Amino acid sequence: MSDLLSPLQGHSEPRVAVAAQGEAGVALTERRIVSLVQVAAWSDRLAQVEDAVAAVTHCTPPQRPRGSSLRETTTIMAIGPGRYLVESADPELAKKLTAVIGPDLGAVTNLSQARSVVRINGPKATWVLSKGLAIDLDPAAFPPLDVAQTAIHEVGVLVRRIAEDSFDLYVFRGFALSFWAWLTEAAAETGYRVDPPGSA
C-alpha cells in the first residue's frame, strides 16, 4: 500500500453529525486504495486483453457496458469500449498486468495514487447523491454493480453502485477535499456518520 498521505487527512476521521430528527441517514467512509489500474485494449485485441486480465486477477471482466464484476478482493469496472478500471488488494497488480499486456495489445496505466474513493451507504444515500448527480438512481435504471462516469458539483466522479443503498465514489485526488466538503454538506440535512478510514 502507498505511503502517500490521503487528501482527506484530518477530515475523514470518525464523527457523527446528527440532523434534527436525531438519526444519521448515511454513513461516509474513505476507502483506501491498494491498486487501481486502467486497462485499455486496442479494438482488435479486446479478447486477448480480457483473457490476460482474467488470468492475472482470477476475475472475469464484465461483458456489458457500465457493468462491473467482483471476485474476492478484485473489482473490474467497464468504463468505456475496451476500457476497464481494475481495483485490487494486490500491490503488484500494475506490474503483473503490464507484464502480460504489451503495447501490441493495449495500454496499462497505474492510477493507484491518482484517485480517492468514498463509500456512502444508508437509507438516505440515494437521496443525498441525487442532489448532485444528473443520472437516474432508481435501481431499475441503475442497478447494483453498474458504474457511471459523471460529475457532482463540477467534480468528475465514477459512481459504482454496491447495493441499493450503497455506492463507491471515485474522484481525482486533487478534487477529493472539495468533493468531501460537498458530500458532507449535502448529507447534513439527513444527518451522517463518518466511519474510520479504511473500514469499508
Please state the φ and ψ torsions of residue 198, each to the nearest 5 degrees: 85, 0
pLDDT at 14: 94
Kindly state the cell numbers that stand for 148: 457511471
Residue 82: pLDDT band with limits 50, 70, 90: very high
Which tens digits make up the pLDDT trace of 107-150?
999 999 999 999 999 999 999 999 999 999 999 999 999 999 99
How far apart are the C-alpha atoms of 163 and 49, rounded to whole Å? 28
Which tens digits make up the pLDDT trace of 154-199?
899 999 999 999 999 999 999 999 999 999 999 999 999 999 999 9
pLDDT at 107: 98
Residue 1: pLDDT band with limits 50, 70, 90: very low
pTM of the model: 0.94
How far apart are the C-alpha atoms of 150 and 136, rounded to whole Å? 12
pLDDT at 20: 62
Residue 4: pLDDT band with limits 50, 70, 90: confident
Half-sphere exposure at residue 39, Cβ-oriented, CA atoms within 13 angstroms: 36
Q: List domains and CATH numbers for the chain.
A: 15-32+114-194 (3.30.1360.120), 35-110 (3.30.70.1520)
Say how many C-beta atoms besides its own lie within 10 A of residue 177's C-beta: 18
Which tens digits make up the pLDDT trace of 18-56?
776 678 999 999 999 999 999 999 999 999 999 999 999
Which tens digits make up the pLDDT trace of 96-112?
999 999 999 999 999 99
User: DSSP E strands: which ranges in 42-114?
Assistant: 68-71, 74-80, 83-88, 106-110
